[in-house]
Amino acid sequence: MPNQNTRVLVVGAGPVGMVCALALNRHGIPVTVLEAEPAPVKDQRAATIHPSTLEMLDELGVTEKIRDHSLLSSIYRFHDRPTGEVVAEFDLGRLKDEIRFPYVLQFEQYKLTAAISAEYANESDFDVRFSHTLTGLTETADGVEVEYTSPAGPERMTAAYVVGCDGGRSTVRRLAGIEFEGFTYPERFIKIATSFDLQSVKPDLVYRNYFSDPNEWANVFKVRGESPEGLWRVILPIGQDEDDATALSPTRVEERLQKFLPKSGPYHVEYRDVYGVNQRVAATFRQGRVLLAGDSAHVNNPIGGMGMNGGIHDAVNLTEKLAKVLAGAADDLLDLYSRQRRHAAVNYVQAQTIANKRLLEERDPQVRQQKLDEMRRTAEKFDTARAYMRRAALFDSLQDAAAVV
């Protein structure tokens, strides 16, 4: 018999939580989102939305709304930093006859969450509560009793299901006792955003660039920021011998940027952050009535821009199945969600991001040359370039996960 209480509680109003809530709302399921922070967070992490994700967001009516506020980027390049050469160029425009959006949108994740919450947050069946922190979960026969703190003090509510979209340090995952298997890299990454036009000193930059370098790899992206000129983001590794305070100091940030692209006069830096980097996947994405999606279920290094995209793919897969279960279908559909999305996380997102980092940092000169030559050959031929781009844009992960039964 269908469950009477069909409200789903989403924990976390990050990009995955908000897409999950919107998708549930579109299925006619009442949803409450609890978010610990007092207001939408201006999170400057993800910025690249891949074509496969744009198709999903389009089904939710989001893609058209955000496109004019994004940077469109169809081309990405691999550079050899020591020689300054462009090794390979991939152009999603070559796939225009087979994919609906032959480009990525460079659109910061805080804008995506704001775009969704601005339109839907005030509906009673889609209520988003800031300054509400989940603290406890107890599963009952037909639901989950949830404890949380709010400005009014400790409170409780009951939901049919709880979806933990509460990030890499997920409380939901911990309360459900689900292992987070994997490893942490010894180095951290620094992201530096500058309003200086990097193309003026390196004209062969496109909006997305990966630099291979045995001493210091780099990723360089353009984002829209808050002004028409946009911002350039540079991501670099930080060694274990350097602490965060030193890495973030204006002198060291300037030194890093000047070493990467020397120019006269100092760089104007808009923001900078240091990140610890993990490759981890939850042992299961489902424990009874508790589900995990996004970073709570899997984390990876950001080279290739796959974490948020994979998380949005989780949210869309999960909500389709949850809608059926809430309408009376057998709940083992939720185990299928876990199997399918865990498969995509392990075999695609983890595998690809680990390979991406290895390619950029390869130290052995012979192996490095082989890898760069292979990348060059892959980009040159249409069939191999197509296969590479479809995999990097996560289309293969979706197709392969759909075949998991």
Instruction: List contacts with ligand FAD (CB under 6 A).
Output: 11-17, 34-37, 41, 43, 45-48, 109, 133-134, 165-167, 171, 191, 235, 275, 294-295, 302, 305-309, 311
Three-state secondary structure of 248-291:
HCHHHHHHHHHHHCCCCCCCCEEEEEEEEEEEEEECCCEECCEE
Of 6 and 296, nearer to ligand FAD (C-beta) is 296
Strand 269-282 to 144-150 pairing? unpaired
Spatial CB neighbours of 29, under 8 Å, sequence gap ≥ 6: 6, 7, 8, 319, 322, 323, 326
Q: Tell me the one-letter amino acid at 370.
A: Q
**Max CA distance (Å), the chain:** 71
Of 272 and 289, nearer to ligand FAD (C-beta) is 272
Of 166 and 213, nearer to ligand FAD (C-beta) is 166
Query: Which residues lie across from 105 on neighbouring strands?
Result: 49, 72
Least distance CB 293 / ligand FAD (angstroms):
7
Q: Which of 133, 127, 166 is nearest to 150 (CA)?
A: 133
Of 348 and 368, nearer to ligand FAD (C-beta) is 348
Which residue's entry shows tokens 């289309």?
395
Least distance CB 364 / ligand FAD (angstroms):
27
Backbone angles phi, psi at 6, to 5 degrees: -105, 5
Of 225 and 305, nearer to ligand FAD (C-beta) is 305
Of 128 and 323, nearer to ligand FAD (C-beta) is 128
Least distance CB 14 / ligand FAD (angstroms):
2
Which residue's entry shows tokens 């300037």?
254
Strand 298-299 to 290-292 pairing? unpaired
Least distance CB 48 / ligand FAD (angstroms):
4
Of 225 and 294, nearer to ligand FAD (C-beta) is 294
Distance CA 189, CA 259 (A): 16
Q: Which of 187, 211, 219, 289 is nearest to 47 (CA)?
A: 219
Backbone angles phi, psi at 2, to 5 degrees: -60, 145
Least distance CB 326 / ligand FAD (angstroms):
22
Least distance CB 125 / ligand FAD (angstroms):
20
Could you give the 3-state DSSP secondary structure of residue 16? helix
CA torsion 389-391-395-400 (nearest 10°) is 160
Least distance CB 170 / ligand FAD (angstroms):
7
Q: Can you say how many angstroms the Cα of residue 128 is from the centroid of all Cα atoms in its chain? A: 21
Least distance CB 249 / ligand FAD (angstroms):
19
What is the rounded radius of gyration, in angstroms, for the C-alpha atoms of the chain?
A: 21
Least distance CB 134 / ligand FAD (angstroms):
4
Least distance CB 329 / ligand FAD (angstroms):
26
Distance CA 10, CA 20 (A): 8
Of 17 and 225, nearer to ligand FAD (C-beta) is 17
N-to-C CA span, the chain: 25
Of 162 and 372, nearer to ligand FAD (C-beta) is 162
Of 293 and 372, nearer to ligand FAD (C-beta) is 293
